[in-house]
Amino acid sequence: MAYDLSPRHDWTRAEIEALFELPFPELVFRAAQTHRQYFAPEEVQLSQLLSVKTGGCAENCGYCSQSAHFDTGLKASKLMPVDEVLEAARRAKAGGAQRFCMGAAWRDIKDRDMPQLTSMIAAVKAEGLETCATLGMLNADQARALKDAGLDYYNHNLDSSPEYYESVVTTRTYQDRLDTLAHVRDAGMSTCCGGIVGMGETRTDRAGLLQALANLPAHPDSLPINALMPITGTPLGDKVIAEEAQIDGIEFVRTIAVARIVCPKSLVRLSAGRENMSRELQALCFMAGANSIFVGDELLTTSNPDRDHDAKLFADLGLKPMGAASTAP
């Protein structure tokens, strides 16, 4: 049977929930068809993430160890010097990363930090890497300045569905996030926008997140799907640990597959949580349309599979970095 694999921006909640309800083989098959329409199925985009300013964030995101609202034992740090960030970017490139992402634990960017940030971005861009940053909310002028400095991607996740959002964070609104994404698009940058699953939300909420992403004015260029890494001391982490309520692996693959179908041209990234995934679960995610990962040993404040582990996985699955002839990440 032929399916319409073209991008849409008018998905209904019922349509997306119906995709989740498909028999698992049928859902993965449709996602794989969609993937092959727009990408080489054996290619995976590789990014590396560095926390350039850790902890002390004024937001109360219930999953985050960096929030100043929670006692997680994490010490706050200042914004890293440009030369230290540049050295980390060079190591990332030498290790095979194609994109270097810089994250700062802020509610929003302060204008006083812009000169250091723009210098940082320009220096990383000069190394021949794609540049990405996640720095909290920003305004239109800041977005244009980051673009002018050489920033290619800006990450700002929606986290969850509009209905479940207040169970995750109350210090900024869903509309605040949509406004920041609009500033990013208007400045001519690519968007990196996804969410987190396994926070106690329902399948309907997961469908709601994907509906919100699919019906944005432009689909995210990169769409990270994070599996919650439950951190002791965070409200959502403590809840998930106490209830042993981490997301089921098959349900996670379903989420990847539906993301691929509703945002067919997006790079769908296996993001946080990969450290806890079996090789077999990751393989199913790649079959279902995931085609981006973070490499390196750490994601902001949580662990990530090491390069040797990823190299063996890529070799066994016949995967290769996007645009490369080699099969080793």
Q: Is residue 6 part of a domain?
A: no
What are the catalytic residues? 57, 61, 64, 101, 132, 192, 269
| pLDDT of the residue at 30 | 97
d(CA 212, CA 198): 18
Q: Is residue 20 part of a domain?
A: no
Estimate the crossing angle of helix 249-262 against helix 24-38, to 10 degrees.
40
Domain that holds residue 66: 25-321
CATH number of the domain within which 74 lies: 3.20.20.70
Q: Is residue 62 part of a domain?
A: yes
d(CA 266, CA 218): 10
- Arithmetic mean of pLDDT, 164-190: 95
Q: Mean pLDDT, the chain, as a whole number?
A: 90
Q: Is residue 1 part of a domain?
A: no
Phi, psi of 265 (to 5 degrees): -95, 0
Whole-model pTM: value is 0.91
- C-beta separation of 270 from 282 below 8 A: yes
d(CA 189, CA 180): 12
Q: Is residue 198 part of a domain?
A: yes
- C-beta separation of 64 from 234 below 8 A: yes
pLDDT band at 35 (very low <50, low <70, confident <90, very high): very high
Q: Is residue 136 part of a domain?
A: yes
d(CA 160, CA 208): 7
Q: Is residue 48 part of a domain?
A: yes
Q: Is residue 219 part of a domain?
A: yes
Domain count for the chain, please give it: 1
- Whether the per-residue pLDDT at 329 is higher than 80: the answer is no
Q: How far is CA 251 from CA 22, 179, 232, in A?
A: 12, 30, 24
d(CA 15, CA 21): 10
| pLDDT of the residue at 317 | 96
| pLDDT tens digits, 196-234 | 999 989 999 999 999 999 999 999 999 999 999 888 888
> Mean pLDDT lowest for which of 236-240, 258-262, 302-306, 314-318?
302-306
